[in-house]
A and B are shown apart, each in its own frame.
Chain A
Amino acid sequence: MKWLLISSAVLYLASFKRPVFLAALAAGLVYLGSRGLALGRLPLIGPQDTLAFFSSSIGLMALPFVYARAAANERFFTWGTGVFAGLFALLATPFPTLNMPLPPVLDTYWFELHVALAFFAYALFGIAALFGVVFLMQGKRQVLDLQYRAALVGYTFFSLSMISGGIWGYYAWGTYWLWTAKEFWTSILWVYYSLYLHLRLKGQSWDRGFAWMGIVGFFVTLFTYLGVSLLMRSSHSF
């Protein structure tokens, strides 16, 4: 079924028009659905499944924005989101799939909720970064409002992910908090977007700074997701 993932990546990269974007999303979701059916759980273990899940999360979370009236004429946004999602789908393809059953400690709905919500949040932070780029290119304030909305919804998902992770940790390890690299960077990311949301209170004179914050935030997100797993030791290096 890997051809579905590759098709999704190719369609995303060519998603200058919304129907192509939709087709790419559909291919990605069918791929994930087939993996889920084969495994009997959400495909959230190993680089291929998580990158494919992240790619589809970007497409899914971007959908309301792609069809938003305020973004109707922003072809760059649709294509830019497609490139984002396509690149992560492409990144997933060289990795082998991990078809093992879940280790007992991961076999809980709290784990699935925790990880899925984190990916939805990461996707929305990526979308907010793209709106930041569009704002810096065009200067339309309505684009900045869309950036704020994407980041606020992402922040909500991320907070829920941290809470579900804390509950899972309490039931699995007896504590809702461990001092490991992933928890450090998860907290940094959460405080970063808390700061971002507070910065809006500074008013319009900070619009460009606000847009840049949204862009930089995605790099913090990528480090939290990929950098920590690849470069540091953590409780999340399963």
Chain B
Amino acid sequence: MLKPIYSFLTSLNLGLWLMTGVMLTLALGSFTRASESGINEMPLLFWLQRAPLSLSWWLWLCIVFLAVLFLNALICSIDALRKKGRSIAPHLMHAGFLLVVIAHLFSSYGGYKQQMQLTEGGTIGFPDGDQVLLERISGEVGQMGMLSSYRAQLRVKGRIEEVQPNQPVFHQGYGIYLKEVALSPVPMALVEIHREPGAWAALLGALFFMAGNVMLLAQRKGR
């Protein structure tokens, strides 16, 4: 009884069909209005609970395909690693993929995002009640009248820290991001705080994946 289920779960054909399913559901999802319905504004699991099924059905299907694909890749790798003389490269890539899926799961549940518009002297509030003071907003106007660079000085636990585009400030597990700045009529900044609990798992997954990928390339060289 268990053997046919095991063989089915480890089969290449199942993996190929699941990948096709993931692609099709994502393709259908790309033509829906999901990205305009707040999906990027809250953790994914909250969005899934709130969004009507007419908007989220493709994502539920995609998650089902991904969950079985996760099992398929996991069991396939465990099965292959038990046999001697097999290259570990594909399994490192599988491990990377599994970690990235786990990362999305963490972020879907424990992610946090809040946007706020602040003037100098305003405070950035955190969910635990902690506050960071925005002391100064500055920027330079470029040739075409647009800001060529901008930054804000924050007072974090008595220290001055500077936040710029692509240079967030991290504080108690949250990233503080400077999204936009206007210098007139009064300096004003659009600030976002983010918590992305899956980021480290995603990075680790990426490293595993690339290590396996590079090994695979080296093995295929000259063949």
Please tell me if B107 contacts chain A, counting CB pairs below 8 Å: yes
Contact A188 B26 (CB under 8 A): yes
C-alpha spacing A145/B222, complex, angstroms? 10
> Chain A interface: which of B2-10, B27-35, B119-127, B128-136?
B27-35
Contact B196 A175 (CB under 8 A): yes
Within 8 A of A (CB), among B155-188: 164-168, 175, 177, 179
Chain A residue contacts of B19, Cβ below 8 A: 191, 194-195, 198
Q: How far is the CB of A49 from chain B (nearest CB, A)?
A: 17
C-alpha spacing A44/B199, complex, angstroms? 27
- How many residue pairs link A and B with beta carbons under 8 A? The number is 118
Interface residues on A, range: 35 or more
Chain A residue contacts of B45, Cβ below 8 A: none
Q: How far is the CB of A124 from chain B (nearest CB, A)?
A: 12
A180 with B148: in contact, given A104-B164, A153-B217, A201-B12 (CB under 8 Å)? no
A 22-52 to B, binary, CB cutoff 8 A, 1 in contact else 0: 0000000000000000000000000000000
Contact A188 B27 (CB under 8 A): yes
Contact B40 A107 (CB under 8 A): no
Contact B12 A178 (CB under 8 A): no
C-alpha spacing A162/B198, complex, angstroms? 16
Within 8 A of B (CB), among A138-160: 145, 148-149, 152-153, 155-156, 159-160
The one of B22, B107, B146, B166 that contacts A171, using a Cβ cutoff of 8 Å:
B166
C-alpha spacing A181/B32, complex, angstroms? 10
Contact A168 B177 (CB under 8 A): no
Chain A residue contacts of B104, Cβ below 8 A: 177
B 30-56 to A, binary, CB cutoff 8 A, 1 in contact else 0: 100011000110000000000000000
A 191-215 to B, binary, CB cutoff 8 A, 1 in contact else 0: 1101100110110000000000000
Main secondary structure of the interface of A (DSSP, over half): helix
Q: How far is the CB of B173 from chain A (nearest CB, A)?
A: 12
Give 22 pairs: A residue, B residue, CB < 8 Å, sorted on A. A101-B143, A104-B149, A104-B165, A107-B149, A149-B220, A152-B220, A163-B210, A166-B206, A167-B203, A171-B167, A174-B113, A175-B113, A176-B196, A177-B107, A184-B30, A191-B19, A191-B26, A198-B12, A198-B16, A198-B19, A201-B12, A233-B35
Binding site for A on B (CB under 8 A): 12, 15-16, 19-20, 22-23, 26-27, 29-30, 34-35, 39-40, 104, 107, 111, 113, 142-144, 146-150, 164-168, 175, 177, 179, 192-194, 196, 199, 202-203, 206, 209-210, 213-214, 216-217, 220, 223
